[in-house]
Amino acid sequence: MGLDELLALAEDAAKKANAAIMQNYDKFDIFVKADRSPLTNADLAANDVIMRTLEPSGIAICSEERVLDSKQRMSEERFWLIDPLDGTKEFIARNGEFCVCIALIEHGRPILAAIGVPVSGDVYSSNGDGVYKNGVLLARPASAPQIFMHGRHSKSEKYPQFAQKFGMQLVRKGSAIKFCILAEGGASAYARFSDCSLWDIAAGDFLLHQSGGAVVDLKIMKAPLYNGKSLINNHYLAVGASAVKLLPKMLEFAKNF
């Protein structure tokens, strides 16, 4: 399959997962996984429909709910990396800040991605040359509100310090929807100074880069890689297109953390 066909599969999987999640929105059971994180019927339903939809590609799939072992992730030239429901806590809280993340990884970096937003039904996608929202090409943001985003549940004092340093309003927002907001020009920057998993950011990373923004791994000071031994990302900084000019100063300040 070519990239256009693979992107069509990813978009279809995101749309079906959006629908599966919303079918479980009003009534669901909550389970607790081994790592003490919550799991619902919606996570499982979305995972099942994504796996079935992507299977015809013949490409290995690494999902939060069905993880590929490290040897396979490191040896596969290509594999799908998916989070069927990113923001399960937000889903449980019914605040709308949850999404579906699908990325195709090649030699450690994403080469296409789709993010579905179940509450709105929107799908953001790209396989290069820009980002599409429901099939319509988004313009690269020339400007954006001076907003610095961080996770809904983060408690670190580093985020207020960062926002104050760069004169930005601090806003909490759940899930990888933050990357979509940056790609559309709805905020300027987002950082994560705590652990998260590979599938949480791979799709958003690609969409943001294709919109003219950037994501930088704060340990290696380069774009993140997704085929390493660990399932945990290093801490990172993400900026929208209009804030790329501030990236060097932001990275220098982030070294303090």
Q: Do domains 3-137 and 147-254 have the same CATH topology?
A: no
Residue-by-residue pLDDT tens, the chain, 257 positions: 899 999 999 999 999 999 999 999 988 888 888 778 888 999 999 999 999 999 999 999 999 988 988 888 888 889 999 999 999 999 999 999 999 999 999 999 999 999 999 999 999 999 998 999 999 999 999 999 999 999 998 888 999 999 999 999 999 999 999 999 999 999 999 999 998 999 999 999 999 999 999 999 999 999 999 999 999 999 999 999 999 999 999 999 998 87
CATH architecture of 147-254: 3-Layer(aba) Sandwich (3.40)
pLDDT at 33: 82
- What's the longest Cα–Cα distance across the chain? 49
- pLDDT 10s digits, 220-237: 999 999 999 999 999 999
pLDDT at 121: 98
Q: Region of 175 please: left (phi>0), alpha (psi -120 to 50) or beta.
A: left
Domain residue ranges in the chain: 3-137, 147-254
| pTM for this prediction | 0.96
User: CATH number of the domain at 3-137, please?
Assistant: 3.30.540.10
The CA distance from 141 to 243, in Å, is 10
The rounded radius of gyration (Å) of the Cα atoms in the chain is 17
pLDDT at 166: 97
pLDDT at 1: 87
